[in-house]
Chain A
């Protein structure tokens, strides 16, 4: 911990959720690390895989149910179309602050040198193949591979 005064050298981010706000959190953190000269890698597992699934990544939504910070009654949040409506509103606001959409963000991340990994267990569970996934994904790996990839000084791991 005392090497280089505890400077962060690499961020290993595990994304386990497929809601828009969580995916953006992971992407902004990874991109922000690269902008500071810190290495970054993302391990996509369970619903996080939706963010790198070619056919699904453009249809991610914010959660309108079970999310008290939406300040929307749960029953209202469950109405048909409500998630899409809230998601579209959020996407419009994001565009205003120069936030890229998911596909463009993936392109930015890979161009910036962020390594993207898919979790083997989750890929098997959802019956996905490498062809279903965004082409910038390095490989489908096990949790053990991910730990090996995380070795080194100044490496921090973050679960989203």
Chain B
């Protein structure tokens, strides 16, 4: 379905995840973050860029892997994205929701 995000029509799935990463830009990311009551700091962007890169390399995302990335530890990840960190961060990053249980 289509949703207007940051003034542009964007295709998202029923949970609000972008289905086409080409429609993503930083303004879209900021708008999704604002919907989730987050304002993005440089540390948020570090995590978002890292997740996008992992997605590009087709790496399955998990909390454990992100924690070991050297980009952010698990404690900081939860403080940056307090409510469902991986789900929220991937939504902002414009990439699919991870299917991981750990």
Contact = CB atoms under 8 A, between A and B. Distances in A.
Contacts of A111: 67, 73-75, 78
A98 B100 CA distance: 10
A118 B4 CA distance: 50
B85 interface: yes
A70 interface: no
Given A35-B84, A99-B102, A100-B102, A108 B78 contact: no
A8 to B, nearest CB: 13
Interface string A1-41: 00000000000000000000000000010011011110000
Interface in B71-102: 73-75, 78, 82-87, 100-102
Interface string A100-116: 10001000100111000
B49 to A, nearest CB: 21
B40 interface: no
A84 to B, nearest CB: 24
- Range class of the A interface residue count: 10 to 19
B8 interface: no
Given A98-B62, A100-B64, A108-B67, A113 B78 contact: yes
Identify the interface centre among B73, B78, B87: most chain A CB within 10 Å of its CB: B78
A34 B78 contact: yes
A126 to B, nearest CB: 29
Contacts of A28: 101-102
Given A28-B101, A100-B64, A108-B64, A35 B87 contact: yes
Contacts of A112: 63, 74-75, 78
Contacts of A34: 78
Contact of A98 (B78, B82, B86, B102): B102
Interface of A: 28, 31-32, 34-37, 98-100, 104, 108, 111-113
Interface of B: 60, 62-65, 67, 73-75, 78, 82-87, 100-102
Closest 10 CB pairs of A and B: A37-B84, A111-B74, A37-B83, A111-B75, A36-B84, A98-B62, A100-B64, A32-B101, A112-B78, A112-B74
10 contacts: A31-B63, A32-B101, A32-B102, A36-B87, A37-B84, A98-B62, A100-B102, A104-B64, A108-B63, A112-B78
